[in-house]
Amino acid sequence: MKNLEKVYSFSKIEEKILNFWQEKEVFKVEKLPKNYKKDYLVFLPPPNITGTLHMGHALNATMQDILVRYKRLKRFRALWIPGIDHAGIATNRVVEKELLKEGKTRFDIGKEEFLRRVWQWKEKYGNIILDQFKRLGASFDSSKTVFTMDENYSLAVKTAFLHYFKKRMVFKKERVVNWCPQCQTSLSDLEIEYTQEKENLYYIRYPLSKEVGFITVATTRPETMLGDTAVAVNSKDKRYSQLIGKKVVLPLAQREIPIIEDFAIDINFGTGAVKVTPGHDPLDYEISLRHQLPILKVINEKGKICAPAPLKYQGLETLRARKVILDDLQEKMLLEKTEEILHNVPRCERCKSRIEFLPSLQWFLSMEGLKEKTIKAVLQGKIKFVPKRFEKICLDWLKEAKDWCISRQIWWGHKIPLENEEDVLDTWFSSALWPLGTLGWPKTKKNLKKLPSDVLVTGRDIINLWVARMVFSSLELVKKIPFKYVLINPTVLTKEGKRMSKSLGIGIDPVLLIKKYGADAVRFGLIWQTKKRQDIRFSEEHLIMAQKFANKIWNAARFVLLKIQEEEEKEKIPLSQKEKSKKLKSKIIKDFKKHLSLVEKSLETFDFGKSAELIYHFFWHRFCDIYLEKYKKLPKTKENKEFLLELFKKIIIFLHPFLPFITEALYQELPFSKKKESIAIEDWPKF
């Protein structure tokens, strides 16, 4: 019997174990023992093909893997389906950036060549993040990997769109949409972010028509005034009651526009009178519908002033137009004053360009009926959020959800499956089909009986972008909820409490941490920090602690191996010593059973931090500090040695979901009886 190496060399062992798992296809659901009857299904949230592993991914994957490994030990047919997302706009942007290095744009090389380069990118980088997940110990079934542009998945997207089309739930209409001049596409409300920025608020006088006087409006975007079709005041604002119904002459454009009243106007903003530009502001667009105002488009898709604005301003970029307009207003003595304010500026989530609101002919999915189904499923408890507080985020958005703009003016993605349509579908439209497409729908429907999946582990930032949309897509298309639980993982922050950002130089690469501390230590150190179920202020101190824990496990295994190889005592064992052995065994079994029960309860309620604390406490302070110390004084009998070995076997199985590499290595090395091919398909400890 060979001894374990004195020092736990995690890098060498992890590589060996990864190769072992892959060679033996340990995580392939079809290879699980026949007596595993119940299904346990989890979908990996598909990372973008542009992505590499970050701390959020590492925590998210570890939480899923702990559950999957635990359920596998509980004799569930645990299937964890991995995949990657084509990530329309994100990938489009990345490949465009590569082109810029050659001094080219996608329009220079054309659609066919651009798409060839995107596929080239996908083949080169697409699976990097899945390989990184494996380094972390993710036990998903690689043979089931799905890509959202696969032939079968594309069929799911086409089927879903045509389902909505036949029911007249998708429609094409000109509406004011969010437009990114940089990405050259429309965006949904959930794809823009608002940043607080300092900007000037300009007070501009609009002269009354056919009489002396003026009304002063306040705006941060004077360049849009060229598209004004009214001035609005609140009906409760007595300052302007005598002006309602009158007209003003729009400065610089020399058009007459009416002064109207509308309940949406904030009396306390600026002067209480606002310019109404329906073509370039969502709120103004709503006002225009209530008052039948014309909608003028004076900013085009390139972010430049266009007709019917006065010829002088046409072709100017918005910021340049702003300067020229302000100079002209100043010259005409119509610029009353300027003041600096802090307000929210809409920006593209991807490229950070300022969003333009403009009229555009787009495809929309009606949310009527869909949002009501989803709200009902959540309120009835068919889908539970953990922690429960995140349920409100989902419900609040659904209650106010507007029709979803699903068309995008980019080249990479699922083409809208209708004749003469060149636009592609929003990435989130295809992502919303993830629980269905990964199970082979619509080509095969037999796997749909596995729905709902047991749990979706995801971040709070995509509750509305993805989670809610998966729910209504599944309910509408297959009449089933996609998952029972939505587990929101904590956000991993810096030690100072800031969001991690690679671009700002405050991100931490988990792959580097794996090289430094080992995958088990990264997993355990991350999970340890989830004890309060709040966002994590990440600290490497916990990884150092976890690495020490792994070393403790290794050293305990060396001690066990040493003890079971000791020569048995030949003299008769006194009765008192036998009683002492019996009492100690009884005590450790009782202690172990208690911790087993508590860990089971914690895992079933997704309290990973508590589970980690329990296994740490049991192993270090009960098994090592008490049992092993007292074991040293027990007689060296065959019975005691067999009990020690069997107990240690059960303990490393107990530890396995949290620290899979070291436990698999020890399972393979130690002379346990009735061993299976892998610890991953062992039985959860029982007594």
What's the DSSP call for residue 246? -
Domain for residue 348, yes or no? yes
CA–CA separation, 442 vs 477, rounded Å? 10
Question: In the predicted model, what is the mean pLDDT of residues 391-415?
Answer: 96
Q: Is residue 279 part of a domain?
A: yes
* pLDDT for residue 575: 77
- Domain membership of residue 217 (yes or no) is yes
The DSSP result for 124-184, as a single string, is: HHTTHHHHHHHHTT----GGG-EETTSHHHHHHHHHHHHHHHHTT-EEEEEEEEEEETTTT
- Residue 191's pLDDT is 87
Query: What is the arithmetic mean of pLDDT over 438-461?
Result: 95
Is residue 331 scored above 90 in pLDDT? yes
Q: Residue holding tokens 């020399």? A: 254
The gap between the terminal CA atoms of the chain, to the nearest Å, is: 28
What would the mean pLDDT of 409-417 be, rounded to a whole number?
96
Residue with tokens 């429309």: 186
* Helix residue ranges, H only, 401-450: 427-431, 434-437
Tell me if 264 sits within 8 A of 287, measured CB to CB.
Answer: yes
Compute the C-alpha angle 379/380/383, nearest 5°.
Answer: 80
Distance CA 459, CA 490 (A): 7
Q: How many CB atoms lie within 10 A of CB 154?
A: 18
Selection from 271, 249, 276 nearest residue 260 by Cα: 276
DSSP 8-state assignment for residue 354:
B
CA distances from 564 to 352, 554, 569, 622 (A): 64, 16, 12, 20
Q: Is the pTM for the entire model greater than 0.75?
A: yes
Would you say residue 320 lies in a domain? yes
Residues 244-264 have a mean pLDDT of: 96
Using the predicted structure, report yes or no on whether residue 148 has a pLDDT greater than 60: yes
Q: Diameter of the chain by CA atoms?
A: 121
Helix (H) or strand (E) holding 486: strand 483-488
- On the question of pLDDT at 507 being above 90, the answer is no
Q: Kindly state the helix (H) or strand (E) to which residue 274 belongs, with its residue range.
A: strand 273-276
Q: What is the pLDDT of residue 53?
A: 82
- 163 neighbors 307 (Cβ within 8 angstroms): no
Q: Do strands 38-43 and 76-81 pair parallel, antiparallel, or not at all (unpaired)?
A: parallel
Mean pLDDT of 96-101: 91
Is residue 520 a part of any domain in this protein? no
**Can you tell me whether residue 627 is helix, strand or coil?**
helix
How many domains is the chain built from? 1
Q: For residue 288, list its beta bridge partners.
A: none
Q: What is the mean pLDDT of the chain?
A: 94
Residues 6+ apart with CB under 8 A from 74: 684
Strands 356-365 and 170-180: antiparallel
Packing angle, helices 510-517 and 541-564, rounded to 10: 40
Q: List alpha helices for 494-637, DSSP H.
A: 510-517, 519-528, 541-564, 575-604, 608-617, 629-631
- CATH code, domain carrying 240: 3.90.740.10
pLDDT attached to residue 418? 96
Distance CA 522, CA 661 (A): 12
**pLDDT digit string, tens, across residues 570-596:** 677 777 777 888 899 999 999 999 999
Rounded (5°) CA angle 52-57-59: 145
In a 13 Å sphere around the CA of 50, the CA atoms on its Cβ side amount to 15
**Cα(353)–Cα(347) distance, integer angstroms:** 5
Is there a domain that residue 199 lies in? Answer: yes
Q: CA distances (Å), 457 to each of 490, 613, 657, 676, in order?
A: 10, 21, 16, 30
Q: Which residue has the higher pLDDT, 261 or 124?
A: 261
Query: What SS3 state is found at 237?
Result: coil
**How far is 104 from 95, CA to CA, in rounded Å?**
11
Mean pLDDT of all residues in 186-201: 92
The rounded distance, in Å, linking the Cα atoms of 550 and 429 is 43
Distance between CA atoms of residues 634 and 581, nearest Å: 6
Phi, psi of 408 (to 5 degrees): -135, 145
How far apart CA 90 and CA 302 sit, in angstroms, is 19
Average pLDDT over residues 247-268: 96
**Closest by Cα among 288, 282, 269, 263 to 203:** 269
Q: How far is CA 429 from CA 144, 436, 465, in A?
A: 22, 12, 10
The domain of 313 spans 187-356
346 membership: H or E segment, kind and range: strand 335-348
Closest CA to 80 of 65, 70, 58: 65
Distances in whole angstroms, Cα of residue 7 to Cα of each of 471, 550, 553, 648: 49, 11, 11, 19
Q: Could you give the percent of the chain with pLDDT greater than 90?
A: 83
Of 53 and 301, more confident: 301
Domain membership of residue 437 (yes or no) is no
Written as one letter, the residue type at 97 is K
Q: Which tens digits make up the pLDDT trace of 598-629? A: 999 999 999 999 999 999 999 999 999 999 99
What's the rounded mean pLDDT across residues 374-378? Answer: 98
pLDDT of 2 over the 80 cut: no
Determine how β-strand 407-408 pairs with β-strand 424-425.
Answer: antiparallel
CA distance 271 to 606: 53
- Give the residue from 443, 435, 412, 437 showing the smallest Cα distance to 425: 412
Q: Look-up: residue for tokens 């602690």?
A: 545
Read off the pLDDT of each residue in 541-552 and give the average, rounded to a whole number: 97
Examine residue 155 and state whether it is found in any structural domain, yes or no. Answer: no
Q: What is the pLDDT of residues 156-190, one digit of tens each?
A: 999 999 999 999 999 999 999 999 999 899 998 88
Token pair belonging to 523: 């997993």
Alpha helices in 380-453 (DSSP H): 390-400, 427-431, 434-437
The CA distance from 217 to 266, in Å, is 12
Q: What is the dihedral of CA 430, 435, 438, 441, to 10 degrees?
A: -80
Tell me, what's the pLDDT at 501?
A: 64
